[in-house]
A and B are shown apart, each in its own frame.
Chain A
Amino acid sequence: MQLQRTARILPLLAPVHLLILSVIVLPSLYVVWLSLNTSSFGQAPSFVGLQNYWRVLTDPAFHSALLNTVVLVVVAVHLELAVGLGMALLFASGLPFRRFLLVAVLAPYAVSEVTAVVMWRFLFDPDAGPITLALRAFGLPTLDWSFEPSHAMGLIGLLTIWLHLPFTFVIVYAARLAIPGELYEAARIDGATRWQAFRRVTLPLLGPAMLIALLFRYIFAFRLFSEAWLLTKGGPARSTEVVAIYLYQEAFSFNAFGPAAATAWIMVLASLLLAGAYVLLLRRGGISHAH
């Protein structure tokens, strides 16, 4: 019986699992082997144990890439969540043309990273960008991103937020819509102010959904590559390099496959750690309010 069932469902499961096994799992395991060897073009791999990990973890360039990534993730993702939350509450408070506005907010989701870079690079062009010109006209400081590394990071962050705000917004907004109206009614009868209702009703009930959005965005922001690569290539002086660019440089510019593979596994482990937290949340069922 059990066997029969297995035989019946296996062909249906096979495509998904074969694809994942051959494209993601086995190559990832091969990366583990690569990370324990030193190799380059025309050089047979030789086993070096954990030396590559040590080399990456003690490389100042990796530290700066990691720091950049963490700062970017922390600042951009939380800012994004705050804005997304504000927008979700605004939408929930009743707006005219809500469907149209929703579609407008979703629009950046359709934009590719490459096209987004074309847009934002031009908007903030130091000489002719319309936003630069507008800021200058109002006597405001402009983003000097081609010179100041911190400004370049700011622009990368802005770009990331712009591309991913639709995701965060939708998650939080859907959770907000799922909160029954009676709860607010009850709070009002109890004499709660708007602020109290927000603190006591909205925030606790949105909590799980916000946590989910945060974890997802942590994981996805941690692998950020294209925006930074297309905007600054990690420059000036490697000061805007993020971990994924570090990996790319090691692998494809310096042809040092060992350290590149070690970096890759450090990324995987960090992602899995975050993923573990996510799965734990799912299993605890704490997010059943979110839909």
Chain B
Amino acid sequence: MSKMPATTLTRRGFIAGAAGTGALLAAGPGLAAGKTLNVLSHKVHQTVLGSGDADLLKEWRKANDAEIAFTTFDSNPLQDRLFREVSLKETEYGVGYLIDNRPTSQIAALFEPLDAYQSKDAIEDFGDIAAGLVQGMTVDGKLIGIPVRHATQGLFYNEALLEEAGISAPPTTLEELIEQAKKTTFTAKAGTPVTGMVLASDLAVFPVMFARAYGGDFVSPDLKLVPNREALESGLAALRGMFESGSLPRSYATTKNDDQVTWLQQGRAAFTVLPFARGAQLNNAEQSKFPGRIKAVEFPGSAAIKGKVPMSSVVEAWAMSIPKNAKDKALAWSFIREVSSKRVTLGMAINGNGPVRVSSYADAGLKAKNPLAEVEAKVLKTARGAFPPFPEAARAQATFLEEVQLAVLGRKPVKDAVSAIIERVKPMMPA
């Protein structure tokens, strides 16, 4: 799940952030805020909170006489760093951002249980925060993180290229998607060679979505490894078929998440799977050759499951947590409480954050700003994480991806790859 939110970060947001940090450093002791809250997060979390006059936490800073110092990393290095920090004797960081599939029992034990804080000094209308996301942050009966962002995967397509290929409507089944991807593997009128679909090969999200389209999974929420073998085989066979027919790029093995954005913006691919929140970036007139023409729908299930099982897309969620070895936990909770308020949640959503509050989606301002809000809210209802947390999840994901790549590139028959996944990942599953 590495870099999903990485490029939600626009260049401008980045400068603003950098300038903000610069100004803060330059002002230094002059600001003389009484306290500093150190936050370990992804850049995107800092960006959506705004800066300068648009800073959503302006009043909080003033009221608490505190400054907020962000340290930001890309997703996987961020989680590694966070766990290294919390396993020390003491850490400078008051708040750490946690991805939902990482907290195992062992790791969760390193974070402060938040139930007591919640009962003493409750977050505004806590019931409004999506129950599934709160559930994901409850480990061994303890709430260890307050959900703050989700990224739900949707199927993006380039309307202009579809029209050129004579396709009038986006696919409603996986079979149609495969067919349309094949049709859009052509040379566009502009002379650009187009590949039907572009997917990164280093994320479990995509093979998992293909397996789910046939009613299967990699690891189910109740920790069953490959609960439906045929479904996973069908999913991988579909990917293999697409690679073979050229509707996945030949450079599939080195394609990264960011390439998906570039390829779609440049019209080099007709379809891709990305979080709905990327819609704005894909249609950004400065970067995209097709502003306003890149749309999104729900990733379709296969004809076989249509009407029987709802398609479950992948959602990745982030939560704010307090390390047990943090120094000023009261300040940290105060920050979390403020960021989780209705006002800030909505403000972040308008800045491009996937809001965790159901009420945010009802807001007219957000609907106007984000045309995908409605379909995203619908997909979110049945979405779940790519796989549940367990101690060896990172290794299991790497092993899964290795076999998937071998199958898609045609170096191993799909059946053998699935057998290898089951055989190799089994010892990594919790007993």
- Direct touching of A and B (C-beta under 8 Å): yes
List the interface of chain A (C-beta within 8 A of B).
40-43, 126, 144, 146-147, 232-233, 235-238, 249, 252-256
Do residues B254 and A232 form an inter-chain contact, with CB atoms below 8 A? Answer: yes
Q: A126-B251, A254-B394 are in contact. Are A41 and B107 (CB under 8 A)?
A: yes
Asked whether B51 is an interface residue with its Cβ less than 8 Å from the other chain, the reply is no
A255 to chain B, nearest CB (A): 7
Q: How large is the interface on B (under 10, 10 to 19, 20 to 34, 35 or more residues)?
A: 20 to 34
With contact pairs A41-B87, A255-B394 given, residues A237 and B76 touching in the complex (Cβ less than 8 Å)? no
Known: A41-B107, A237-B406. 4 other contacts (CB 8 A): A41-B83, A41-B110, A43-B106, A147-B250
B87 x A147 contact (CB < 8 A): no
Cβ-defined contact, A236 with B254, below 8 A:
yes
Minimum Cβ distance to chain B for residue A47 (Å): 18
> Which residues on the B side are within 8 Å of A252 (C-beta)?
77, 80
Beta-carbon contact of B106 and A40 below 8 Å: yes
Asked if B109 and A254 sit within 8 Å, CB to CB, the answer is: no
Q: CB within 8 A of B405: which of A232, A237, A253? A: A237
A236 touches B201 (CB 8 A): yes
Q: B257 to nearest A CB, angstroms?
A: 13
Given A146-B251, A146-B253, A147-B250: A42 and B405 interface contact (C-beta under 8 Å): no
Q: Is A147 a contact of B251 with CB atoms below 8 Å?
A: yes
**Top 7 A-B pairs, shortest CB-CB distance:** A236-B253, A146-B251, A237-B405, A41-B83, A146-B254, A42-B106, A237-B402
Do A253 and B251 touch across chains, with their CB atoms under 8 A apart? no
Residues of A within 8 A of B77 (CB): 252
What B residues does A235 contact at CB under 8 A? 201-202, 253-254, 405
Any A CB within 8 A of the CB of B62: no
Digitize B202-217: 1 where CB-to-A-CB distance is under 8 Å, 0 elsewhere: 1000000000000000
Q: A-facing mask of B243-272, CB < 8 A → 1, else 0?
A: 000000011111000000000000000000
B409 at the interface (CB under 8 A from A): yes
Question: B404 CB to closest chain A CB, in angstroms?
Answer: 8
Docked CA distance A62–B71 (Å): 34
Give Cα A255–Cα B402 distance, bound, in whole angstroms.
Answer: 19
Contact B409 A236 (CB under 8 A): yes
Query: B394 → chain A, closest Cβ, in Å?
Result: 5
- Separation of A92 and B86 alpha carbons in the complex (Å): 60
Task: List residues of chain B with CB within 8 A of the CB of A42.
Answer: 83, 86-87, 106-107, 109-110
B201: A residues at CB distance < 8 A: 235-236
Distance A104 CA – B250 CA, assembled complex (angstroms): 37
Query: Inside 8 A of B398's CB, which chain A residues have their CB?
Result: 238, 249, 253-254
Does residue B391 face the partner (Cβ distance < 8 Å to A)?
yes
Question: In the complex the two chains form, is A236's CB within 8 Å of B405's CB?
Answer: yes
Of chain B, the residue at the smallest CB distance from A148 is: B253
Min CB gap A93→B, angstroms: 43
Known: A41-B110, A42-B106, A253-B76. A237 touches B83 (CB 8 A): no
- Whose C-beta in chain B lies nearest to the C-beta of A250? B395
Give, as a whole number of angstroms, the nearest-CB distance from B31 to chain A: 35
Specify which chain B residues have a CB less than 8 angstroms from the CB of A254 in the assembled complex.
Answer: 392, 394-395, 398
